[in-house]
Structure 1
Amino acid sequence: MTKNIANTAVNDHVSLPDYKRSTLVSRIVHLGFGAFHRAHQALFTDEVARNSNSDWGICEVNLFGGEELVASLRAQDHLYTVAEKGGDNTLVKMIGVVTESLHPEMDGVDAVLEKMAAPETAIVSMTITEKGYCADPATGTLDKSNGLIMTDLANPTSPRSAIGYIVQALRLRRDRGLQPFTVLSCDNIQENGHVAKAVVLEFAGLVDVELQQWIQEQVTFPSTMVDRIVPAATEEMFTEIAELVGVSDPCGIACEPFRQWVIEDNFVAGRPNWNLAGAEFVEDVRPYEEMKLRMLNGSHSFLAYLGYLAGYPFISATMADPAYKQVAFDMMMKGQAPSLNMPEGTDLENYARLLIDRFTNPSLKHQTWQIAMDGSQKIPQRLVPSLQYHLNQGSAFTWQALGIAGWMRYISGQDESGKAIDVCDPMVNELQAICDEHGLNVSVVPALLAVEKIFPASVGQNSMVIDAVSTAYQSLLDHGARTTVAALVPKQEAA
């Protein structure tokens, strides 16, 4: 027998919400209704509702773009599909925990602020990518030269940035005598809660010092570590979901079966029992963040730049190349793992092998181009800290050097066959001006390493780093990415 959702029959194997959606309350306002959130935090919250009498619902907000997505979500009663694609089978779930949605272009800025300031709102969570925090990646402080921040500081009651929205909503709550909400960052940023707190407090101090003090004393900013591979949506994916569900779903998303969420348990106004869905609450998230950022995200970026240059469109395609697969594992274990300080009993080799299996999953079409986006924001978190560790220890940082060289070659805007690369990065104009000045010449290496928003002077101006990255970059020019990566395979492995 078929079941019905949003007045349309769906296939029997689709797992539908088994709770009363009418009892849900929008206790969470989430900024950034993107692919990752749909397959991660929203899914966790949905599973809590399935496993308990939870009334935690989510109001989804897109601050920039995505109006069609919000309109589609509303048209299907805020239901959408998540397809968890393993190597052998696919589980299809209909997520029902989203209660409402807002967009400032569709509903007005005040509607978003009022929802954030509503008495029942206990958490404002975010998946807004690194650049959404408007922070200087080198210092973690508010980037007051950011266009959105400049606009919001001039008119704080009608914000555009996520930071401006949070500060204004907290001002409304304070003025109305309401308790604050928790600000929950779910982005891949090391100590993301600390970064969110720093930029929110600095922004608040520039508009209202008393508000800044109130936020400092009253608001909590727990850090989180999130992990799930969620490829960008494609037409092929939408077609597959339509076949799996029995009806098209423009809000649907596909992802891997693996998921992880480690959360600092520091919530000022309550939280869902996400542990019922497999989340782990801890006192200190930092070791887990560093493990994931360096071993998973660092190797992902390495594979993205060097895979794209080699002509591999997907991560799974790079992993089908034995050299890339071996070098990715070596990077995790020899390049990244030694820089970590993990709790006793953590098995990093097992974690690395799990990552290799996840990257190799042929069911996921995770684009190298997608992972290569926003490199100026990612490299300071994913590659620089471990490189600094090896400098301090006097040990090899071959993999980090090649990863950085691959990024430099990528942002030149031209691939190895001479085709244009669509480089997406908030610093793209500054970076490509440097590349254009030098051309495809190794002289670009010290110029890019001198960009202190990405590379602190202790790294970017270190002669050993300049030499190592220059050598790797020259090899990419002379031999190409595949040959350069293959040269890192230990001889006994190659034999």
Structure 2
Amino acid sequence: MQPHAKHNLMSHTTPLSIKRILHLGVGAFHRAHQAWYLNLLLEGGETKWALAAGNIRPDMPELLLDLQAQGGEYTLETVTPAGIFSYERIRSISDILPWTADLKAVVAVGRHEDTRVISFTVTEAGYYLNQHQQLDLSYDDLRSDLEQGTQLTIYGAMGSILRARRDDDAGPVTLLCCDNIRSNGDHFRKGLLDFLARRGEPALLTWAQDNITCPNGMVDRITPKPPAEVKDRVKAATGLHDKCAVMAEEFSQWVVEDHFCNGRPPWEKVGVEMVTSVMPYEEAKIRILNASHSCIAWAGALKGFDTIHAALADPVIKQMAFDYVTDDVIPCLSPSIIDLAQYRDTVLDRFSNPYINDTIERVAADGFAKIPGFIAPTIAERLAQQQPFVSTAMLPALFLAFLQSRAAGNITFSYKDQAMDEATVASILNAADCVRAFCGNALLWGPLAGNAILEANVRDAYLSIKGKLS
């Protein structure tokens, strides 16, 4: 590509000397979290960095058009558990990139030498990794990217960007994961390099090994799908008719390993924790917040609740989440640089926020990724320590009961789970012993699959659910 062609998709309002972040995944979470942090920097006078954002899937066409029409600007509404609402105008996204199947706009920005960081938000299943942290070739999208050269996955898209950067001699780039996977940067790097090797691109593989870094990071801000009434509240508070308004809780946290290969914004000026190792922060967040969130969602769905705060108001459900963290997670993670009991209480307080109206539907999703990612590690550690895990066993038991309730037509929402295979679920639910089949599933349990102690504990918890949630 000629130099002038590389510039065609860059914003005319953003000087080319500005260093740029390209973010893939223009959903509500990115706009309430990473874009918000950069906006804080801009408001503080830091103008050396800009943000371009686009999608690699055609799933948000109206949002992209609306954001383009608003010049990339939108309003963030935040609310505390006490009901204090605040409004901020976010102006940090200078370029909204249109989606096309060839990802032309995304690749054009990604290949530019001024793009120093490429960040992205994918779901738990979006890494396409199996229990051995290797690429799972059972996914059609992944095989298509490998065999047909499509760009349906984060690996296919990133492969195209890196190939273009190498061809343009655009220099090193940091690839920054912004999601709930532990050691996300390490896992993404492993998956990406495996992808390039399987594609038969040894030269690009070598270039990538020498020119990318993938810091691990932990992100945290409850950000529900914005309900329709957010636009009305924004109009009343600001006078703006904003089609792209987003809402979130007031709390926000971002912890990132300071492992960037070609510069980064001074995020530490606005509260981002730049650390040597993110491990203690992400373990606390994944096991305490994410896993208990799922516990509340699955139990809430079984009792017919629609929102997380309503489910948490049920004393039995709240006790399940509290006991899970207190009895098993805190012993596993102690000693810690974090006050784990205080963190537990803060998390439950955040979940109780009635103004967020976070839905059971959103949080209940992706159980086939959350069991191995969020829950199985605590069980594995308790087994290794020959310690009980009665309280943790309740979480997978709730998920099994949830799957049964869904199959019976008793779940009112459409359950989404990228890692789930319907035939596998049917085989579990139709087995003569569904608990044994569930606990023997390698996708859910990896090396724990078939463990007799796991099965016994999940069986006891499963048999107790009807009495607890009736």
Q: Aligned partner of 1:339: which letter?
A: C
Please report how far the alpha carbon of residue 415 of structure 1 lies from its aligned counterpart in structure 2 after TM superposition: 8.1
SS in 2 for 1:244: helix
Distance 2:237 2:386 in 1: 53
Distance 1:243 1:409 in 2: 43
2:259 equivalent to 1:270 = no
Distance 1:206 1:258 in 2: 42
Counterpart residue number, 1:281:
274
Q: Aligned partner of 2:404: which letter?
A: S
Q: Are the equivalent residues in 2 in contact too, given 1:72–1:251 (CA < 8 A)?
A: yes
Q: 1:50 aligns with which of 43, 52, 71?
A: 43
Please report how far the alpha carbon of residue 216 of structure 1 lies from its aligned counterpart in structure 2 after TM superposition: 1.5
SS in 2 for 1:424: coil
Q: 1:248 aligns with which of 236, 241, 244?
A: 241
Distance 2:435 2:385 in 1: 23
Identity of aligned residues (%): 32
2:116 equivalent to 1:122 = yes
SS in 2 for 1:84: strand
CA deviation string 1:130-180 (max 9, x = no partner): 2222222x1221122321221111233x42211111122111111222212
Please report how far the alpha carbon of residue 318 of structure 1 lies from its aligned counterpart in structure 2 after TM superposition: 1.7
Q: Write the mapping of 1:476-487 to structure 2, written as runs, cut at 5 A.
A: 476=465, 478-479=466-467, 482-483=469-470
Counterpart residue number, 1:491:
none
Counterpart residue number, 1:210:
203
Counterpart residue number, 2:155:
163
Q: Aligned partner of 1:444: which letter?
A: C
Q: 1:379 aligns with which of 356, 366, 371?
A: 371
Distance 2:247 2:156 in 1: 32
Distance 1:104 1:210 in 2: 28
Kindly tell me: are residues 311 and 237 of structure 1, through their superposed partners in 2, closer, same or farther at Cα, counting changes over 3 Å? farther
2:68 equivalent to 1:74 = yes
Q: Are the equivalent residues in 1 in contact too, given 2:177–2:184 (CA < 8 A)?
A: yes
Kindly tell me: are residues 133 and 472 of structure 1, through their superposed partners in 2, closer, same or farther at Cα, counting changes over 3 Å? same
2:113 equivalent to 1:132 = no
- Structure 2: 5+ residue stretches without partners: 1-12
Q: Are the equivalent residues in 2 in contact too, given 1:49–1:97 (CA < 8 A)?
A: yes
Between Structure 1 and Structure 2, how many residues are aligned? Answer: 453
Kindly tell me: are residues 319 and 418 of structure 1, through their superposed partners in 2, closer, same or farther at Cα, counting changes over 3 Å? closer
- Structure 1: 5+ residue stretches without partners: 1-20, 484-495
Q: 1:90 aligns with which of 85, 88, 91?
A: 85
Q: Are the equivalent residues in 1 in contact too, given 2:116–2:264 (CA < 8 A)?
A: yes
Kindly tell me: are residues 81 and 26 of structure 1, through their superposed partners in 2, closer, same or farther at Cα, counting changes over 3 Å? farther
CA deviation string 1:30-51 (max 9, x = no partner): 0111111111111001101111
Q: 1:333 aligns with which of 300, 303, 326?
A: 326
2:342 equivalent to 1:361 = no
Q: 2:461 aligns with which of 443, 466, 472?
A: 472
Q: Are the equivalent residues in 2 in contact too, given 1:167–1:204 (CA < 8 A)?
A: yes
SS in 2 for 1:226: strand
Q: Are the equivalent residues in 1 in contact too, given 2:256–2:274 (CA < 8 A)?
A: yes
Q: 2:446 aligns with which of 456, 460, 463?
A: 456
Counterpart residue number, 1:403:
395
Q: Write the mapping of 1:431-450 to structure 2, written as runs, cut at 5 A.
A: 431-438=424-431, 443-450=433-440
TM-score by length of 1: 0.87
SS in 2 for 1:255: strand
Counterpart residue number, 1:15:
none
Q: Are the equivalent residues in 2 in contact too, given 1:413–1:420 (CA < 8 A)?
A: no
CA RMSD for the aligned pairs? 2.1
Counterpart residue number, 2:6:
none
Distance 1:88 1:122 in 2: 39
Kindly tell me: are residues 140 and 212 of structure 1, through their superposed partners in 2, closer, same or farther at Cα, counting changes over 3 Å? same
Please report how far the alpha carbon of residue 416 of structure 1 lies from its aligned counterpart in structure 2 after TM superposition: 8.6
Distance 2:103 2:298 in 1: 38
Q: Write the mapping of 1:185-224 to structure 2, written as runs, cut at 5 A.
A: 185-207=177-199, 208-224=201-217
Distance 1:368 1:429 in 2: 21
Distance 2:359 2:96 in 1: 28
2:302 equivalent to 1:309 = yes
SS in 1 for 2:115: coil
SS in 1 for 2:442: coil
TM-score by length of 2: 0.91
Q: Are the equivalent residues in 2 in contact too, given 1:26–1:99 (CA < 8 A)?
A: no
SS in 2 for 1:225: strand
Q: Aligned partner of 1:467: which letter?
A: A
Please report how far the alpha carbon of residue 413 of structure 1 lies from its aligned counterpart in structure 2 after TM superposition: 4.9
Counterpart residue number, 1:486:
none
Q: Are the equivalent residues in 2 in contact too, given 1:59–1:98 (CA < 8 A)?
A: yes
